[in-house]
Amino acid sequence: MKKLEKMLLLLSLLAVIAVVARSDAAALRLHATHADAGRGLSTRELLHRMAARSKARAARLLSGRAASARVDPGSYTDGVPDTEYLVHMAIGTPPQPVQLILDTGSDLTWTQCAPCVSCFRQSLPRFNPSRSMTFSVLPCDLRICRDLTWSSCGEQSWGNGICVYAYAYADHSITTGHLDSDTFSFASADHAIGGASVPDLTFGCGLFNNGIFVSNETGIAGFSRGALSMPAQLKVDNFSYCFTAITGSEPSPVFLGVPPNLYSDAAGGGHGVVQSTALIRYHSSQLKAYYISLKGVTVGTTRLPIPESVFALKEDGTGGTIVDSGTGMTMLPEAVYNLVCDAFVAQTKLTVHNSTSSVSQLCFSVPPGAKPDVPALVLHFEGATMDLPRENYMFE
């Protein structure tokens, strides 16, 4: 097993990504809030907590360690939530609000439902199917049920013939329940729930939910490439999100479908030139994440000597570079991270001052009030170059 991958300082406080799904539809809007929003934390505390989440997530994914057996919210470190962003919407008629983890690595959208058999605590009431006039339980003979990794026909108290599912995640968290359909309501322009609504979307009613759920979520919104994902069900040709700074109060916009002024605004000079990089196609249907072609890294004036094969997706499904909405900081293989650190030290005219309590493993001493020059940090993708803003990788 590889060593835990090291992290850069802050590569994704602001990130925009658009991903292909299927045909076309009008843009729907969601808003996402950061898991630490409203907690009254300082900038330093926010960054420390983001670093802790990113390290812990990478450790779990690399080690295959099972999640805790408990279902009550807890923490792996000092009460830090386990994810980054929650998207807000409502299910049912009349609408019942839910707040779901935005997850580009899975496709099933689910929320905890009443009456729950084994569930974690949440601040919102659990979704109650009996209070929705548009709720429908799905039968187990549907293809969408059979295509799940694990599903069966319910018996006894579950109800004969309904689609029963169990859905597991890379950190070994799991949700078990029945597959249903209902109307979903999305956000209006002022961020309130009550904008567009879409009938008959498939989702999971989680009745047994076990694992690491500590972010005040009610479930998970699947945004991956799978057939059950929200973009796929809505048949939008893409989705996009822009994560605003975690230190601000503005929610982050999530669009299912492109807003009509997205590219015209960028071309007008307000947001820079639009660049794009193609998603990688692969033969395995089990790989539902969004893989991109990271080609290299430049620090200051130096393109680092990293073979492109280091970042490549292998034929056996290992390796590769993914876009992951659940990780706040960009993670690199240890050897690549060390090259980045060495290049920063060589090109920064400051004294290295490392500290075990730091957000990063690399720190510099800076005279009071000074804002010294630091090397640029550039990520090279197939067809696109991402010149990162200073505040995305250097915390002062």
Q: Which positions are catalytic?
A: 103, 324
Half-sphere exposure of 276 (CA within 13 A, CB side): 10
Rounded CA separation 310/308 (Å): 5
Rounded CA separation 244/222 (Å): 21
| Amino acid residing at 21 | A
Output phi, psi for 352, to 5 deg: -70, 135
Residues 6 or more apart whose Cβ sits within 8 Å of residue 324: 104, 105, 289
Q: Which residues pair with 18 in a beta bridge?
A: 240
Output phi, psi for 111, to 5 deg: -140, 155
